[in-house]
């Protein structure tokens, strides 16, 4: 019986670290060889890392990648597995998103991505030329038989044209190297698209995705194989590196059949979001070589959840929390911050801000004379805290982690150069209602790769008390905003679905509230432009997913 072993490498490359990525290929290939693999599949643009953005336009990087591919190709003369490796490639003066088949000591062939995505976070038409619809790649096996591989690069799977072209020209297995970033409901979408391609072509499908964080994107892995019957035959874990070994044989009709292999079920939605936040932060800290993070711990739920994610991601010993009380800080907040820090095992320092507040009052007194206190004085407190945290970050070298959530950032309920100070945000794309759900989830669960203690790491009172910025006496968020369940429902419709005020009113929302939220969303764009990067969780994260003008007179009413 003719057999073939296909290994799927779910690896975590680093953008721009070509030598490090080559070492990753070598190490993975050695493991695949030990498993007897005939073919090893790597993810999209692995050699330079994905997405390289405009970095890939540098001729020096292009040349380095080509040299790396040539070196790796020569190493396949050792009789080990052939490799499909993603790389940028220049041919006849045009730059392509390519996959190279490396086998028998040479580059046997190249295939270029045909369908270049140009939406959301993707700008591939900006940097790459589109390749033609590819033909199958013949791969000779050790017994002398041949297998015809239908290689489609990531977006090529999202429409039917490439798959149909490959099937019509004789492909036997569809092979998809991917760089597909996480969204909270995306794995089902991938599976549905893969099922559609299998149904249309009658061919089995191998889907290999990368894993790891790259700036705002998190790649969640979840590589899988679908049989001709559209059933899952093997699946890698999500949010972890993996080498998935799959074994294939021909049936009586000479069609390739994948034997049942390792199956790791995907996590629940809340676990997926939490682990995406951890992975995004971990790789941002590690790949940019920060020793750790510092954050303000206020006794509120956003900073508590951010601290939990940080402790789980990089270890409690690398998380430094700072409580910065003012005259408006409640005793409960002081107690809750201390209890949270203790439960997580992180360092907590206290730096009162009252001396600085008094100093600003004295300095600005002559200019502000005769004017009553307002949000100006509230913002001064937030900016004093931002200055303190940035000073600690500068002096000790830890990255400042900002703690604002998507609901606040949507409506501008945040202070520029104050609580928006920071190098990264794990809650940037997480609505407030999801913050509450994640906090409950973390108290009841301990992810396998979490480095902080298990158990109730976020005190219950932090979750149950009414949210407050504590910048004036008896302040509550609902003094300025609708209740978060109402606010988030409106925001999700406006931001994620681009629904209009009229649509929302027809759905039963209060017209005055919807108009107010819509206006706040529009006028806060200038703040969001100045916000730090953060983990993409939803379909439309602020930034490259949703690009709106700051100067904008359209109100949609």
Sequential DSSP letters for 345-392 = T-EEEE---HHHHHHHHHHHHHHHTT----HHHHHHHHHHHHHHHHHH
157-186 mean pLDDT: 93
E-strand spans in 113-166?
Answer: 137-140, 146-151
CB 389 within 8 A of CB 421: yes
Distance CA 275, CA 447 (A): 8
Query: In three state form, how does the secondary structure of 314-328 look?
Result: HCHHHEEEEECCCCC
Question: What is residue 462's predicted lDDT score, i.e. its pLDDT?
Answer: 95
- Model confidence, pTM: 0.93
Alpha helices by DSSP H, 117-159: 124-127
Position 503 pLDDT exceeds 70? yes
Active-site annotation, residues: 44, 113, 154
Distance CA 172, CA 256 (A): 7
Position 458 pLDDT exceeds 70? yes
Question: What is residue 122's predicted lDDT score, i.e. its pLDDT?
Answer: 85
What value does the mean pLDDT of the chain take?
A: 93
Position 1 pLDDT exceeds 70? no
Confidence of residue 552 (pLDDT cuts 50, 70, 90): confident
Written as one string, the DSSP assignment of 39-69 is: EEE--TTTTT-S--GGGGG-HHHHHHHHHHH
Tens of pLDDT, residue by residue over 390-423, are 999 999 999 999 999 999 999 998 888 988 999 9
Question: What is residue 470's predicted lDDT score, i.e. its pLDDT?
Answer: 65
CB 165 within 8 A of CB 133: yes
Question: What is residue 99's predicted lDDT score, i.e. its pLDDT?
Answer: 97
Q: Is 295 exposed, middle or buried (0-12, 13-18, 19+ CB in 10 A)?
A: buried
Confidence of residue 2 (pLDDT cuts 50, 70, 90): low
343-367 mean pLDDT: 96
Position 326 pLDDT exceeds 60? yes
Distance CA 429, CA 436 (A): 14
Question: What is residue 186's predicted lDDT score, i.e. its pLDDT?
Answer: 84
- Exposure b/e, 238-267, CB count within 10 A at least 16 = b: bbbbbbbbbbbebeeeeebebeebeebebb
529-543 mean pLDDT: 90
Find, among 298, 319, 299, the residue nearest to 308 by Cα. 319
C-alpha distances (whole Å) from 214 to each of 220, 281, 290, 357, 512 are: 11, 9, 15, 38, 40
List, in order of start, the domains of the chain with CATH numbers: 3-261 (3.60.110.10), 270-477 (3.40.50.620)
């Amino acid at each position: 019986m003719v057999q073939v072993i296909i290994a799927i490498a779910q690896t975590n490359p680093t953008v721009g670290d070509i030598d490090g990525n080559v070492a990753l290929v070598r190490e993975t290939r050695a493991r695949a060889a030990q498993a007897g693999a005939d073919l090893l599949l790597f993810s999209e643009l692995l050699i330079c890392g994905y997405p390289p953005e405009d970095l890939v336009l540098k001729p020096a990087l292009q040349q380095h990648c080509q040299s790396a591919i040539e070196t790796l190709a020569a190493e396949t003369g050792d009789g080990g597995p052939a490799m499909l490796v993603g790389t940028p490639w220049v041919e006849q003066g045009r730059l392509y998103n390519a996959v190279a088949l490396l086998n028998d000591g040479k580059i046997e062939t190249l295939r270029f991505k045909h369908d270049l995505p140009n939406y959301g976070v993707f700008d591939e038409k900006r940097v790459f030329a589109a390749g033609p619809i590819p033909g199958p790649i013949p791969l000779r096996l050790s017994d002398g038989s041949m297998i015809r591989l239908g290689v489609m690069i990531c977006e090529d799977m999202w429409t039917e044209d490439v798959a149909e072209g490959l099937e019509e020209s004789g492909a036997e297995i569809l092979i998809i190297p991917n760089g597909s970033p996480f969204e909270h409901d995306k794995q089902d979408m991938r599976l549905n698209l893969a099922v559609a391609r299998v149904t249309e072509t009658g061919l089995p499908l191998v889907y290999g995705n990368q894993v790891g964080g790259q700036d705002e994107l998190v790649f969640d892995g979840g590589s899988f194989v679908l049989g001709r019957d559209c059933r899952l035959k093997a699946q890698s874990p999500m949010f972890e590196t993996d080498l998935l070994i799959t074994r294939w044989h021909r049936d009586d009709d000479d069609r390739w059949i994948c034997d049942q292999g390792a199956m790791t079920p995907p996590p629940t939605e809340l676990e997926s979001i939490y682990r995406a936040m951890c992975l995004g932060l971990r790789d941002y800290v590690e790949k940019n070589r920060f020793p750790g993070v510092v954050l303000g711990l206020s006794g509120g739920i956003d900073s508590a959840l951010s601290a939990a994610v940080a402790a789980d991601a990089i270890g409690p010993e690398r998380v430094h929390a700072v409580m910065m009380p003012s005259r408006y800080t409640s005793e409960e907040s002081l107690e809750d911050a201390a209890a949270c820090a203790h439960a997580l095992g992180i360092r907590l320092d206290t730096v009162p801000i009252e001396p600085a507040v008094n100093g600003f009052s004295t300095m600005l007194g002559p200019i502000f004379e005769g004017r009553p206190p307002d949000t100006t004085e509230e913002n001064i407190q937030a900016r004093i805290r931002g200055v303190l945290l940035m000073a600690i970050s500068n002096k000790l070298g830890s990255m400042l982690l900002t703690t604002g959530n998507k609901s606040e950032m949507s409506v501008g309920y945040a202070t520029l150069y104050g609580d928006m100070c920071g190098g990264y945000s794990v809650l940037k794309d997480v609505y407030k209602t999801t913050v509450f759900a994640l906090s409950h989830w973390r108290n009841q669960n301990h992810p396998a790769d979490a480095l902080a203690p298990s158990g109730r790491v976020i005190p219950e009172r932090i979750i149950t008390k009414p949210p407050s910025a504590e910048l004036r006496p008896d302040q509550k968020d609902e003094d300025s905003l609708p209740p978060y369940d109402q606010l988030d429902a409106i925001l999700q419709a406006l931001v994620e679905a681009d629904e209009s005020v009229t649509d929302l009113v027809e759905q039963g929302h209060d017209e005055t509230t919807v108009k107010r939220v819509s206006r706040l969303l529009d006028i806060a764009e200038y703040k969001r432009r100045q916000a730090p990067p953060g983990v993409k969780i939803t379909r439309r994260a602020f930034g490259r997913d949703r690009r709106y003008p700051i100067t904008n007179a359209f109100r949609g009413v």
